[in-house]
Amino acid sequence: MRTAGSRLRSLALLLLLVGRPAGAVDVTDVLARMRRAAEPGRDMRAAVELVITNPQGERVRWTGQFYRLTGPPARRRLVLETPIELRGVSITMQHAEAGVERTRVYLPFLRRVREITADMRGESFLGTDFNYEDLGLEELEYEQHGLRGEEKADGRACYRVESVPSHSWWYGRIVRCIDKKDYLPRRTEYYDPAGLLYKIRTLDRIETIAGYPTPTQITMAVVPAHTSTRFSLREVEYDTGLTEQLFEAP
């Protein structure tokens, strides 16, 4: 006769062999696909436009160039060309495999490079609605993730993924609506530590370029302040042979 202990061991073995139910969605896999979807190709370059809107609806327009190298390590660089008082300002980001990110801002009028440390990444980038964390790669390694069902964003079927930082941070939680087909985060909601909705990021325009679904217009809106910043890309090119030297701060 089989004992209760042997029956429990058999049940545990059966569960191990069966694994997840057929068709079950793994949130880790969804997020890995999202990261790959956001960083297609070996590299990318584009002209960039930022439009910053204040609560009164007044707008300021900046232009420049954006570069990305897939890596590892993954790198990004944004260089401003207009307005004249910001010409030459650049932000360079490097994200290593171990999750270590280095962000540097070059200020030509001071001839100085400012190093952005981990506890400063929540600061606004030059007064826009994007902070340094938003401009770089998302720190998924330091968040606890859970799948919270499905919903629609911009008419597209999406996974709803909730992420909670595993240590003290400027966001209390982040909710991403990740497209079930192309795995782009169509809508991202950022909540403050008190649980109130603080910012919303939307992918307003997505174009297929060189075979890659590419967000070419992104808006970040700060809900309490009634402000927004629109980040637009044009003349997008992939796999142009960018070198690591381009991402070195001056």
- Report which of residues 134 and 106 the model is more confident about: 106
pLDDT value for 20? 47
Distance between CA atoms of 29 and 126, rounded to whole angstroms? 35
Q: Quickly list DSSP for 216-228.
A: EEEEEEETTTTEE
Q: Which of 90, 45, 80, 69 is nearest to 233 (CA)?
A: 45
Q: pLDDT for 206-228, tens place per residue?
A: 999 999 999 999 999 999 999 99
pLDDT value for 8? 38
* Rama region for 127: left / alpha / beta (φ>0; ψ in -120 to 50; rest): left
Q: pLDDT for 39-82, tens place per residue?
A: 999 999 999 999 999 999 999 999 999 999 987 888 999 999 99
pLDDT value for 23? 61
Distance between CA atoms of 3 and 5, rounded to whole angstroms? 5
- Architecture label for domain 24-247: Clam (2.50)
* pTM for the whole structure: 0.85
Domain ranges, ordered by start, for the chain: 24-247
Q: Do the beta carbons of residue 159 and residue 175 sit within 8 Å?
A: no
**Least-confidence region, from 49-58, 75-84, 133-142, 231-240:** 133-142
